[in-house]
Structure 1
Amino acid sequence: MPQSLKTKQGRVLSKAKRSERFWYLDGSIVLLVEKTLYKLHRSRLSTVSLYFARLFGGPLPDPEIVEVTKGDSEGPIDGEVIDSCPVYRVTCISAGDFDCLLSTLNEGITFAFKKPSFLELASLLRASYTLECPPYLEYATRVLREMWPDQLSQLDPEPSEEQRNFAKETLQLSRECGIPEVRKRAYYELLRTPGFGQVFVSDSDSDEFIDDEDLLQDSQSPLRYVDIVRLVRTREQLQRAWIEIARASPAPSVVPCALEKIPDEKLNPAQGPARNGCRAARDKSAGWWTEQVVCAPLFEQGLLDPLTALQDLVDVAWDELGFCGHCVGERRQLWEDQGEKLWGRLDRWLGLAAPEEDKKKKGRVK
């Protein structure tokens, strides 16, 4: 049971307990966050946080550093004094997030050697955003962006542990803290996860009927209805695009061989054999494609993760199959371009960017 704390006026904060780590003997202010009391230094809090600078009525740091603006500051609890320090109630943040921020204030140098885990980062981001702590907000935002990059070139075949386990949480965090640029990668990690990462009681590979009660909802970060709709629609679009790509090998008209345009009498000694090898490779390409793509695990992989499947096509040793250097380059460029095209279309399918027509209309309205 938490130890009761008597105030100067004899009142009792019966449900509150002192923080074991953040109760400084020379502290000048007491904060009540949820059911935890913190005895801290007023000047330090006011220096790092716009929120506390307003709360304590001191001079504000440069407000241009932070883009967000909070509502009215909370005031002290009337008549409550502990160890000669006024008591302030803070309701806009959880005790866990506040603990993380205070730890970072004291031991932030450790992040120079080891980046925080996702859960630590999420707490620090929420706390620094809510309490408006510019340097810590900038740091946490940068690390989150690095963890969820929005460039196709940074899409790894295997997601990291954070990307595999915290895509839903990242979507929620991006909305809470105004970081929309991380959503694209978070969405794609869900897209290439069976069931969009939703947990079922029944084995997903079984033939058992799954009713509504079998779906385990994560109360902390469930997928919103709009997210599920976007994911379903986008997966349909991606699968349609992959089937169109994977159903047959590229036609010669799509990736024409440059050597075929050279008259026989102008071929040099190396180009003749290269052209013959390329012709033989094209003749065999339909059978190879059926065996290695259509009837292979790559096809099923592409239905779930087409961007990685396209990269696998890029990485095939096409020269070893007999294609000339030009055709190898053209084939790889073809699938790289298709991957970039799909990656770009995700912005529209996932509602991350308005169509150009809508942007123009909005511009005319303004």
Structure 2
Amino acid sequence: MPDVSQLIQEQRHGRRGRASASSASHPRPKIREKTQTSSSPGPQTTATPSLGSSFAGATTSSATASRTTKRSRASLATFWHLDRSLVVQVQNSLFRLHPSRLSQHSQFFAALFRNSPGRCLIVVDIDDDPESASSGRPPDRDSPTLVDAYAINPPSFNVLASLVRAAHALSFKSILTFAMHLLHQMWPNDLAKLPTPKERDAAAATQTILLAQECDTTRSSAPQTSDKTSASTCTPRQMLAHTQQPDPVTTCNAMRLCQRARLAEETQWHAWLVPSGLFELGMVDVFEGMRSLIDIDWKEKGFCIGCVSERRDVWSAKRQRLWDQLDVLLGLKDADAL
């Protein structure tokens, strides 16, 4: 009879043998040490891309991650998408966008990417001197407006000025064309379509003139005029004062009926116009003032139908001629450009 203790020892040795064999055939996996991966897209390389002569006011330089500014930067959640590979910082605003689509819409970014070797951090300084050849630096508040129009929806009237400045500064030609189309609808080239003072905002009118001076947004085709010298020799105030004077009417089918009215006009001209507020209106808005002058009921003041029609035609022609010369009077164009 075998010894029980010996059998127990043999069984124990057998289990150890099987366990050793099993461990030999299927080695126990080793736990590898986890390594922390960096979220950086790759090492920063040194590059000095060129934007070419089209962007003379912009200078580029290469920079490493250590040169990034320590100012507080805010990434806009609306334009911070994880599936986009380009991070653009405009002053304190961060955007993460598609470089290929930026190149399609912006000549500025197309030239920048064309001369940029691979992954790199590029610093672009845009000259904000209005006298320089550059279009200027887009204000920080304008950049989200530009990206919103570029990526999502067309702008409203309240953001149009911001859109024009930013699109002009960064050469988003298609968006600038779209913005200018809206701007031309608000301030049409046709004098007959000019909104009344109640329909337009005086602050918006001033801002539109400043936009034209800053971003060269003058009307593409101004009506032709034969008088090119008067606009260059007269100041806007002189032109306004000259325009408000009554024009003599050379012909009249009922001269006798109008003679008394003409004499009354010479002595009561100011009495007719001052109480109506026409002078004050003309100093604020010359075109609306002239329209009010044209719309006066001159027949009630004793003029015949022929005289009323003729003087209205004369003043309407003066109003149109002043409108045609407006770009020159505001300093947006030279007199030779008309």
State the TM-score bracket (shorter-chain normalisation): 0.5 to 0.7
Q: Secondary structure at the match of 1:342?
A: helix
Pair 1:156–1:27, CA change in 2 (3 A): closer
Q: Deviations along 1:20-53, whole A, 9 cap, x unmatched?
A: 2211121122222223332222222222222223
Pair 1:88–1:96, CA change in 2 (3 A): farther
Q: Secondary structure at the match of 1:339?
A: helix
Paired residues of 1:101 and 1:123 also in contact (CA < 8 A): yes
Structure 1: tracts of 5 or more residues without a match: 58-72, 79-86, 185-229, 261-274, 360-366
Pair 1:284–1:348, CA change in 2 (3 A): same
Matched, 1:158 2:153: no
* Cα displacement (A) at 1:285: 4.7
Percent identical across equivalent pairs? 30
Q: What is the match of residue 157 of structure 2?
A: 117
In structure 2, distance between residues paired with 1:131 and 1:50: 8
Q: What is the match of residue 240 of structure 2?
A: 238
In structure 2, distance between residues paired with 1:28 and 1:174: 35
In structure 2, distance between residues paired with 1:142 and 1:37: 29
* Cα displacement (A) at 1:137: 1.4
Q: Deviations along 1:284-327, whole A, 9 cap, x unmatched?
A: 55566453125653244444544333221211223344543322
In structure 2, distance between residues paired with 1:6 and 1:26: 13
Structure with the bigger percentage of helix: 1
Paired residues of 2:146 and 2:163 also in contact (CA < 8 A): yes
In structure 2, distance between residues paired with 1:239 and 1:53: 51
In structure 1, distance between residues paired with 2:118 and 2:169: 18
**RMSD between aligned residues:** 3.8
Matched, 1:319 2:299: yes
Q: Secondary structure at the match of 2:299?
A: helix
* Cα displacement (A) at 1:142: 1.6
Pair 1:334–1:35, CA change in 2 (3 A): closer
Matched, 1:42 2:77: no
* Cα displacement (A) at 1:100: 1.3
TM-score if structure 1 supplies the norm length?
Answer: 0.56
The one-letter amino acid of 1:117's match is F
Q: Deviations along 1:150-182, whole A, 9 cap, x unmatched?
A: 4433444516554x1144543442244322339
Q: What is the match of residue 174 of structure 1?
A: 212
Q: Deviations along 1:193-249, whole A, 9 cap, x unmatched?
A: xxxxxxxxxxxxxxxxxxxxxxxxxxxxxxxxxxxxx9x94224422443x43xxxx
Structure 2: tracts of 5 or more residues without a match: 1-37, 45-64, 127-137, 223-231
Paired residues of 1:30 and 1:88 also in contact (CA < 8 A): no
The one-letter amino acid of 2:253's match is A
TM-score if structure 2 supplies the norm length?
Answer: 0.60
Q: What is the match of residue 133 of structure 2?
A: none
The one-letter amino acid of 1:239's match is A
* Cα displacement (A) at 1:144: 1.9
Q: What is the match of residue 328 of structure 1?
A: 308
Q: What is the match of residue 127 of structure 1?
A: 166
In structure 2, distance between residues paired with 1:347 and 1:137: 20
In structure 2, distance between residues paired with 1:320 and 1:257: 17
The one-letter amino acid of 1:116's match is S
Pair 1:256–1:136, CA change in 2 (3 A): same
Q: What is the match of residue 82 of structure 1?
A: none
Q: Secondary structure at the match of 1:181?
A: coil
In structure 1, distance between residues paired with 2:107 and 2:335: 37
Moved more, 131-140 or 302-311: 302-311
Paired residues of 1:255 and 1:331 also in contact (CA < 8 A): no
**How many pairs were matched up?**
254
